[in-house]
Structure 1
Amino acid sequence: MEQKGKWFVRGIKDGVPIGLGYLAVSFTLGIASRKAGLTSIQAALMSLTNLTSAGEFAALSLITSQAAYAEMAFTQLIINLRYCLMSCALSQKIDPRAGIGHRFLVAFGVTDEIFGVSVASSGRLSPFYSYGMMSAAIPGWTIGTYVGVVSGEILPDRVLSAMSVALYAMFIAVIIPPCKENRIIAGIIVTAMAASTAMAYLPWVREISSGMRIIILTILIAGAAAILFPIKEGEEEENDGA
């Protein structure tokens, strides 16, 4: 029991920076939730049960466009499919003695940041390490969303519009570093942006809902990139050793 407590405390320490970052980003999510018509409780509950910024922002866009439930579910599947791969990779670092229940709970809390910190830690990890990080990160994401909705009900529209720029800054911060390191990724991102713009204006295609356009572009561009630019075995070994 003492060892579990040490793992939990270690996870909290490593999760605090993640929680603080989530607090800032999810504030913008709360503002977007208010614009989509969600109450503060509804938005907070969404963030508490769905730890995915891209997925939640896409969901808000679909809610605004009154998309069908099936379309929303399929969009979430495509957008969050990477978490399945992360969970599989992370399962190799979890203590083999951890039962299936622990593994399911750890998988629920997998985010890009939590996964990155976990895989960077040396040796096997206790599930309680993940629980500690989740205990610090999830409240930050949930509280930030709630405060964003409440602030959106109080602050003037001009202030809210200015703060909404944070969303675009977050997306830019996500795509710029990999673009600078890899020209192929930069080309794929530019292609995706150009194709998305074209689909918004081309006849017939523009009649398709925004959510379905995201699905089509994701499958086509990601599939084409996987076929044209596959990762070779040597590159995989180099990345594993990095």
Structure 2
Amino acid sequence: MKNFLVSSLITCLILGCSTSSTLPNKEQYSYYTGGKSAGDATSLYWYTEKSASPSSAADYVTAGDYGWYHSDYRWSQGKLREMIREGERLKNDALVNYRIHIRFNKDGEAIYQHYRLDGKVLPIKPTELVQYVDEAKRAANVAKAQDKKGFRLIQGFWDGDHFETCEGKSYDHLEFNQTLPAFVVNRLSDVENYVAFVGSRRNNSVVVEDLLLLSDDGHKCVERPSLLKEDSNL
């Protein structure tokens, strides 16, 4: 019996050493957020790198009466390989649903295209394909560039005295590094609001570099879009 136990222990030790030596190194992920406003459009961005290479990105874009959309992008070996976009756009003075799903091969060719607008399947123009690739790159580039400046996307609720982030952290001061219209200043001082901005956190304050969204406190925090299946084969 003793010989059996000793033999089993030696076997376990050997297997244990073998298993631990073959464990893969953990891949390094880096996460970035950001946003910008241009004309009627306001964009919130999320971007992830894996081992310093593009991995995934997402955006949420609202354009007032013209509609809104959110997108999910994924790269493989440095190339954009798949995207899904869902939202609403203006058609005949009314907002209608639309959805875009595109897969690219390793050479950047769109090998799968599906565009549905208001229940109808339509073709995607070559110029639009280029535009979608550029928008994926923009989400990545803007988020990473703002991160280098120490800024990130921050969302939360301000009641005139305290700011609580969507993650539940509270700050006593909300500072602005930009000139705001009078009506915005008055609203922020009197009414509880949802705000989204590019900025930074400093001690017990949050500093706003660029105010992106301002709405009443019934507005929900915008979560990173997750439209692509994790197990999709590229």
**Under a length normalisation based on structure 1, what TM-score does the superposition of the two structures give?**
0.26
More helix by percentage: 1
**Under a length normalisation based on structure 2, what TM-score does the superposition of the two structures give?**
0.26
From the CA coordinates, give the structure whose radius of gyration is larger.
2
More strand by percentage: 2
Greater relative contact order (Cα < 8 A, sep 6+): 1
